[in-house]
A and B are shown apart, each in its own frame.
Chain A
Amino acid sequence: MGDRMTKRLTRAVLTGAMIATAIGGIAVPAFAQRDPAYAAARAAGQVGEKMDGYLGIVGAETPDLRRIVNDINIKRRAVYSERAKATNATLEEYALTAGCQAILATVPGEKYQAPDGTWATRGAGAPMRDSRCP
C-alpha cells in the first residue's frame, strides 16, 4: 500500500513539473512581432512615426488605418506612462524621447515626421530629427 502511494505521489509531482515547464515556455516567448496589418501599412508608407512618439496616418485616412493607429498609440501611451513614472519624467518628455528613437529606427522607405511637421520618407542616410534628439 505504502509503496503504491509513493509511486502515485512521484507521478503527480513529475506531471506537475512538466505542466509548469510547458506553461513557462509559452509565457516567455521571443520578442513579439508587429501585427501583419500594421507591418503592411508601415511598409506601404500609409502610417509614419511622428515626432511626439506616436504613430500617424500619412495621406488619406481610412477606418482600417485609424483603427490600427489608435490601437498602437493607446498601447504606446500605456508603456510611455509606465516608463515615465519609473524614470521620474513626464509622459510628454518620455514620449518625445521615444519619438526620437523610433524615427531613428525607421528603415529606408518608411515615413516619419520631419522637424518642420511634414512627412518625409526615410532614405539611406540619417533621418531629419529635432535638434534636441540625442
Chain B
Amino acid sequence: MNSHELTDCAGAATFPVMQGIRRKRSTKWMGAACLIPFALAGCITINAPEEPIVIELNVNIRQEVIYRLAEDAGNTIEENADIF
C-alpha cells in the first residue's frame, strides 16, 4: 500500500516545474557529448618511467634560506668550537 502511494507521487513528475529541470539536464548531457570528440583528439600518452623516482630532499632547501641562516650558523660554530 505504502509503496503504491509513493509511486503515485513519482507520477506527479509531469508537473511543469519538474519538466523544466529535466530539460535542463538533457541540455547539459548534450553539451558533454559534443566535447567527447575533442577530448579524444587531444589525448597524450605518457609511459611511466622504468626506474624508481628518487627525490633528493636537500634540493628542496633554497639558497635564500641558507643565506638567511649563514650568519647565525657561523656564530654557532664559533661558540661551540669543541664540537666543530
Contact B70 A100 (CB under 8 A): yes
Majority SS at the chain B contact face: helix
B76: chain A residues at CB < 8 Å are 79-80, 83, 98
Contact B69 A89 (CB under 8 A): yes
A60 at the interface (CB under 8 A from B): no
How close is B5's CB to chain A, nearest CB, in angstroms? 65
Tier of interface size on chain B: 20 to 34
Counted as pairs of residues, one from A and one from B, with CB atoms less than 8 Å apart, the total is 75
B58 at the interface (CB under 8 A from A): yes
Binds B, one of A8-16, A19-27, A28-36, A120-128: A28-36
Please tell me which one of the listed residues A72, A80, A92 contacts residue B58 in the complex, with CB atoms under 8 A apart.
A92
Contact A31 B78 (CB under 8 A): yes
A7 at the interface (CB under 8 A from B): no
B69: chain A residues at CB < 8 Å are 87, 89, 93-94, 97
Q: How far, in whole Å, are A86 and B65 apart by their CA atoms in the complex?
A: 14
B72: chain A residues at CB < 8 Å are 83, 86-87
Contact B77 A72 (CB under 8 A): no
Q: How far, in whole Å, are A33 and B82 apart by their CA atoms in the complex?
A: 5
User: Can you give 26 contacting A-B residue pairs, CB < 8 Å?
Assistant: A31-B78, A31-B82, A32-B81, A33-B82, A34-B81, A51-B58, A52-B58, A76-B80, A87-B68, A87-B69, A89-B65, A89-B68, A92-B58, A93-B66, A96-B66, A97-B66, A98-B77, A100-B66, A101-B73, A101-B77, A102-B77, A102-B84, A105-B77, A131-B63, A132-B61, A134-B70
- Residue ranges of B at the interface with A (Cβ–Cβ < 8 Å): 57-58, 61-63, 65-70, 72-74, 76-84
- Residue ranges of A at the interface with B (Cβ–Cβ < 8 Å): 31-35, 51-52, 72, 75-76, 79-80, 83, 86-87, 89, 92-94, 96-98, 100-102, 105, 131-134
